[in-house]
Amino acid sequence: MITVSDVSKGFGGRMLFENVDVSFAPGHNYGLTGPNGCGKSTFMKLLIGVEPADSGHVSLPERTAWLRQDHAAFDEHTAIDTVIMGNRRLYDAEKEKAVLYKKDEDEGGLSDEEYDKLGELEMIVAEEDGYTAEADAAQLLAGLGIEEEDQSRSMAELQGGLKLRVLLAQALFGKPDALLLDEPTNHLDLDSIRWLEDFLIDYTGVLVVISHDRRFLNAVCDQIADIDYQTIITYPGNYDDMVRQKAQIRGRQEKDKVSKEKKIAQLQEFIAKFGAGTRASQTRSRSKQIEKLRPDEVKRSNIRRPFIRFEVDEPSGRDVLEVSELSFGYPDGTPNILTNFHTHVSRGDKVAILGKNGIGKTTLLKLLLADRTAGDFPRKDVLEASSGEVRWGHNVNIGWYKQEQREDIGEGSTVFEWLFDHRPQVGQEQVRAILGRMLFSGEDGKKPTGTLSGGECARLMMSKLILMGYNTLLLDEPTNHLDLESISALGEAIEAYDGTIFYVTHDRDLASKATRIWAFDEPGHLIDYGGGIDEYLDWYDKNKKEAS
């Protein structure tokens, strides 16, 4: 059981939580949700103990594991050892046991006390399943996509994305009683996310997880702890269940408030009419009724959802893209990113691009833009193919959304000025309307661009895509920095878009909006599947089983 008692926490002059009482029971998987900036990660740090509460108390099981963020802390250890360190009792016993065995070998014996200690250590190792620890750790790493040759490498040799996977395996190792995970699906491909879902569904302790992957929360969680109104409210069911319940509760509150206000108005009308006459006792009675009826103020929720719609000014021709025998490889001798890829894309196609991190998804987008080095596509941001050809069709007008927007947005301007300068002919009111839809209302338009958060940069760049009326969009990891509400709005925008779209994503809910899948199943090999994500996954699983 995780128990949070009367906890309050402020940050940057703003109260995040006030007198929060909530508990998380064993046998349940809790999704911790709320918009960007509401305090999800801060609350997780309060649970772990790395961030002190202003007041109150947190109680955790002794065997609590969490997804660590200190990526360099284990650089001197192998990936396997780093995972086993998730069970500190086992790891320390193994190390102390190794020291005693070496002393016994070097000195020809141990003292009676040391032999007794060795026996105690062997009991600890047995209790903690130490004799299968390496095999168990290797199984976790394999499930999360760490190849066997990387498992024995030092953490310092691994790239950042692989390090995060090892640290996730560390948190999962050793059967902890409580498991705290902040964005565990970051840097995971679809196969690893599906493996993690199965693992967490079978987990028997208490899980608290933060994720911006709606489908992941729906699959894994049977309770949602939602941060809103400066407190945490727990709802039974998955994320979609919570959204429905929250809307119903809010609707009842607002309906009750309207009903009370209507009754108060009737009573006030009676008092105004008869207050000075012979019905003084009746007016006093109605005054007391008014005091009892005064509706509680319906607190303003901190959930805000943008309205995203990508409009098309002028449609492209029917044939949008033709790719012939496209290949690309770096000169360092590593396997080709792409080999002899050919395809045809028609107007209105929605193409989701899937694959592991580092396998070449962003490279593919840059190859597609190789002949578009004017305007929004400077030469430094695109790549020339090793061989093959890319041909865009008639009247194709491309908008590109890169993984990180801060460099392109730059500094020295305000939100409004930056967006207005891209298309001043539409007028100030149109620009302000778009910004308002994207949650930059009122004074937010005056924010300096150099002070924007990652989520604000993402919403501003999407505002530009809305403003410019492109008929073709290339989106590279558009869910980065977005909260669940914004990701849901983006999914609706992709579905409603009349143009052609190519987008890189690991989010299956967003991928489900695609009519077509391009998937890297291995380096250099890109599958072009003419259907949606669920059909593709069924097809892929079936072919993988037949191949094995």
Q: Mapped to the 3 state alphabet, what secondary structure does 172-190 carry?
A: HCCCCCEEEEECCCCCCCH
Provide the residue type at 411 as one letter: E
Write out the DSSP string of 214-238.
HHHHHHH-SEEEEEETTEEEEEES-
The pairing of beta strand 231-236 with beta strand 223-228: antiparallel
The whole-angstrom separation of Cα 341 and Cα 324 is 7
The rounded Cα 487 to chain-centroid distance in angstroms is 9
Taking residues 383-402, report their average pLDDT: 90
The whole-angstrom separation of Cα 228 and Cα 249 is 13
- Model confidence over 182-233: pLDDT tens digits? 988 877 888 888 889 999 999 999 999 999 888 899 999 999 998 886 788 8
Top-level class of domain 319-408+457-547: alpha beta
Higher model confidence: residue 252 or residue 424?
424
* C-alpha count within 13 angstroms, C-beta hemisphere, residue 171: 28
For residue 246, the surrounding DSSP H or E stretch is helix 239-274
The whole-angstrom separation of Cα 148 and Cα 137 is 11
In DSSP terms, which residues pair with 33 in a beta bridge?
226
The whole-angstrom separation of Cα 320 and Cα 470 is 13
The whole-angstrom separation of Cα 548 and Cα 546 is 5
- Model confidence over 58-100: pLDDT tens digits? 999 988 998 887 778 888 889 999 998 888 888 888 888 888 8
| Tokens 């995780």 belong to residue | 2
Provide the residue type at 232 as one letter: I
What is the structure's pLDDT at 359? 83
For residue 38, the surrounding DSSP H or E stretch is none
Positive/negative CA dihedral, 499, 354, 365, 338: negative
Q: What is the mean pLDDT of the chain?
A: 85
Taking residues 339-343, report their average pLDDT: 91
Whether residue 290 contacts residue 305, with contact meaning beta carbons closer than 8 Å, is answered with: no
Name the band, by pLDDT with cuts 50, 70 and 90, for residue 342.
very high
Taking residues 147-153, report their average pLDDT: 87
Lowest mean pLDDT among 187-201, 263-277, 291-305: 291-305
| Tokens 């008692």 belong to residue | 5
What is the structure's pLDDT at 51? 85
- What is the length of the chain? 548
Contacts 24+ apart (CB under 8 A), 294-301: 294/260, 294/264, 295/256, 295/257, 295/260, 295/261, 296/257, 298/250, 298/253, 298/254, 298/257, 299/229, 301/228, 301/229, 301/250
The 3-state DSSP class for residue 381 equals helix
Name the band, by pLDDT with cuts 50, 70 and 90, for residue 298.
very low
- Model confidence over 441-493: pLDDT tens digits? 888 889 898 888 888 889 999 999 999 999 999 999 998 888 888 888 999 99
Taking residues 119-128, report their average pLDDT: 86
What is the structure's pLDDT at 374? 47
Buried-state track 458-474, b at ≥16 Cβ within 10 A, e below 16 = bbbbbbbbbbbbbbbbb
380 has pLDDT over 80: no
Nearest to 463 by CA among 488, 495, 441: 441
Which CATH number fits the domain 1-62+177-237, given the four candidates 3.20.20.120, 3.40.50.300, 3.40.50.2000, 3.40.190.10? 3.40.50.300
Is residue 428 packed enough to be buried (19+ CB in 10 Å), middle (13-18) or exposed (0-12)?
exposed
* C-alpha count within 13 angstroms, C-beta hemisphere, residue 345: 31
For residue 398, the surrounding DSSP H or E stretch is strand 398-401
145 has pLDDT over 80: yes
Higher model confidence: residue 63 or residue 262?
63
Whether residue 438 contacts residue 463, with contact meaning beta carbons closer than 8 Å, is answered with: yes
- Model confidence over 21-62: pLDDT tens digits? 999 999 999 999 887 777 888 888 899 888 888 899 999 998
What is the structure's pLDDT at 348? 94
The whole-angstrom separation of Cα 545 and Cα 548 is 5
Whether residue 69 contacts residue 261, with contact meaning beta carbons closer than 8 Å, is answered with: no
The pairing of beta strand 387-392 with beta strand 55-59: unpaired
The 3-state DSSP class for residue 70 equals coil
C-beta atoms surrounding 131 within 10 Å: 11
